[in-house]
């Protein structure tokens, strides 16, 4: 039977009085520090007998493995469910909720479906929250993460009421419209979150755990096919293009941003919902550049899996267990693969494509990290001046999401694009 590290036991012991007093505790522990087993130890010390653990689908098998390997089946019954399937769980008299990657409930200003489901089904239970990035962009993101606990905010039952006391509304011009932005807190709000972090959070870093690893982010530029460049230019100019007899429209700036993102990486979705494969240039480049290495690859659009599979053939899988037990490469969609799993068997992590979210980026780049691994080599493959390079610069250097206003500025898209 596997044993916990001393710091994991210490963190669990720190969490118990918080959980008993407030009914909620937040483990803000960096990836690979063992949040899962620390939460299990806390559940054991708390005296829980029936635990519900919500997580990402791809993480379920690993969580069940930890539950068995560390011997917690002797202390409590565990049900592990992916977030999208919460509605399928019957009322089984659970006495504790463990919410993995809890930052997924942080959306503003309205709660996500996951947040609503957690509150409706399990908001009455003691809750253990787990995340390596509890507020990746701003302190206001904390609100809904604690809102899921029934009665936590008392008089501030929705975000707007809470923000009226603790926030500083900002205005932002999006095209011809002006919208309110609810991200910046006032002095009172900042002091509140700082106090909450002292009272309700148990934090732990990789450095404190003894990790001496570093993440080396490498950019590789590959030459795109001229036809893809031409497609993007024509679409931006005319808001319409026909490719192989299929119509493509970009009559709003949002659609244009997404279409250019697709085209730049070799695919496009038509007006009828059909996906066209335009080029496999990037997949072939990756295959050749990393010859002889075992790869973990992140892609963004579902059709990009088809491209990668057509190039790599049987040497590529999307099954985590097969990847771990064989010499096959693995390709995972960034949205689902960036959280809650380990890709330590890979020599390098390669981003074929990535989305506009800073959170997913922060979560994803550490998938190779283990305590005995000194360096993680992460590669980003894109073309010079492409939208992927612009996204990368925004999320890495400015640590922000790549929003529509940034896209318009980068590609000289006029604010009144929708009216052209």
Q: Compute mean pLDDT per 10 residues along the chain, 420 residues long, and list them.
A: 89 97 93 87 97 91 93 95 85 90 91 93 96 85 96 92 90 66 90 95 73 74 91 90 91 91 94 92 95 93 95 94 93 74 85 82 59 70 89 79 82 74
Put the strands of the sheet holding 375-382 in their side by side order: 214-221, 375-382, 348-351, 295-299, 329-333, 316-317
Check residue 173 and give its pLDDT. Answer: 63
Number of H helices and number of E strands within the chain? 17, 18
In Å, how far are 92, 230, 260, 315 from 411, measured between CA atoms? 53, 14, 10, 38
Angle between helices 387-397 and 253-264 (to 10 degrees): 100
- The alpha carbons of the chain give a radius of gyration, in whole angstroms, of 23
C-alpha distance from residue 126 to each of 102, 142, 200, 287 (Å): 14, 18, 13, 48
Same fold: 6-209 with 214-419: yes
Question: What's the CATH code, domain 214-419?
Answer: 3.40.50.300
Distances (CA, A) of 236 to 42, 248, 252, 393, 404: 54, 11, 10, 22, 14
Nearest to 313 by CA among 331, 325, 299: 331
Domain boundaries defined on the chain: 6-209, 214-419
203 φ/ψ sector (left φ>0, alpha ψ -120 to 50, else beta)? beta
Classify domain 6-209 at the CATH class level. Answer: alpha beta
| CA–CA dist 332, 336 (Å, integer) | 7
Cβ–Cβ under 8 Å, residues 206 and 369 = yes
Length of the chain: 420
- Please state, in angstroms and rounded to a whole number, the distance separating the CA atoms of residues 249 and 245: 13
Does residue 346 contact residue 364 with C-beta atoms inside 8 Å? Answer: no
Q: Decide if 141 contacts 135 (C-beta within 8 A).
A: yes
CA atoms within 13 A on the CB side of 272: 7
Q: How far is CA 333 from CA 339, 355, 398, in A?
A: 11, 10, 24
């Amino acid at each position: 039977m596997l044993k916990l590290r001393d710091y994991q036991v210490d963190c669990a012991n720190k969490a118990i009085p918080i959980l008993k007093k407030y009914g909620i505790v937040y483990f803000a522990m960096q990836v690979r520090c063992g949040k899962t087993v620390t939460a299990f130890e806390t559940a054991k010390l708390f005296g829980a007998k029936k635990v519900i653990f919500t997580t990402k689908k791809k993480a379920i098998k690993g969580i069940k493995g930890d539950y068995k390997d560390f011997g917690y089946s002797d202390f409590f019954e565990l049900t592990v469910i992916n977030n999208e399937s919460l509605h399928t769980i019957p009322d089984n008299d659970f006495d504790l909720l463990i919410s993995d990657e809890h930052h997924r409930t942080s959306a503003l200003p309205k709660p996500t479906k996951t947040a609503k489901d957690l509150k409706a089904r399990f908001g009455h239970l003691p809750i253990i929250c787990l995340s390596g990035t509890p507020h990746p962009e701003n302190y206001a993101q904390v609100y809904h993460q604690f809102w899921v606990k029934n009665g936590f905010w008392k008089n501030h039952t929705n975000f707007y009421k809470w923000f009226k006391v603790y926030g500083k509304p900002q205005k932002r011009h999006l095209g011809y419209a002006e919208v309110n932005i609810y991200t910046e807190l006032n002095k009172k709000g900042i002091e509140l979150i700082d106090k909450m972090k002292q009272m309700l959070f148990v934090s732990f870093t990789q450095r404190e755990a003894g990790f001496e690893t570093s993440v080396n982010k490498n950019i590789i530029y590959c030459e795109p096919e001229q036809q893809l460049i031409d497609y993007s230019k024509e679409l931006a100019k005319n808001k319409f293009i026909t490719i192989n007899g299929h119509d493509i429209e970009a009559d709003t700036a949002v659609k244009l941003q997404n279409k250019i993102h697709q085209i730049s990486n070799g695919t496009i979705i038509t007006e009828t919902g059909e996906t066209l494969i335009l080029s496999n240039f990037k997949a072939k480049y990756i295959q050749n550049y990393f010859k002889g290495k075992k790869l973990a690859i992140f892609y963004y659009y579902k059709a990009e899996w088809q491209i990668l599979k057509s190039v790599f053939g049987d040497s590529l899988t999307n099954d985590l267990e097969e990847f771990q037990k064989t010499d096959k490469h693995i390709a995972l969609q960034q949205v689902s693969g960036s959280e809650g799993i380990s890709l330590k068997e890979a020599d390098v992590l390669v981003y074929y494509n990535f989305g506009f979210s800073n959170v997913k980026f922060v979560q994803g780049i550490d998938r190779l990290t283990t305590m005995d691994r000194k360096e993680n080599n992460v590669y980003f493959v894109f073309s010079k001046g492409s939208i992927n390079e612009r996204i990368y610069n925004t999320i890495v250097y400015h640590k922000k999401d790549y929003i529509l206003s940034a896209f318009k500025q980068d590609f000289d898209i006029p604010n009144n694009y929708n009216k052209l």
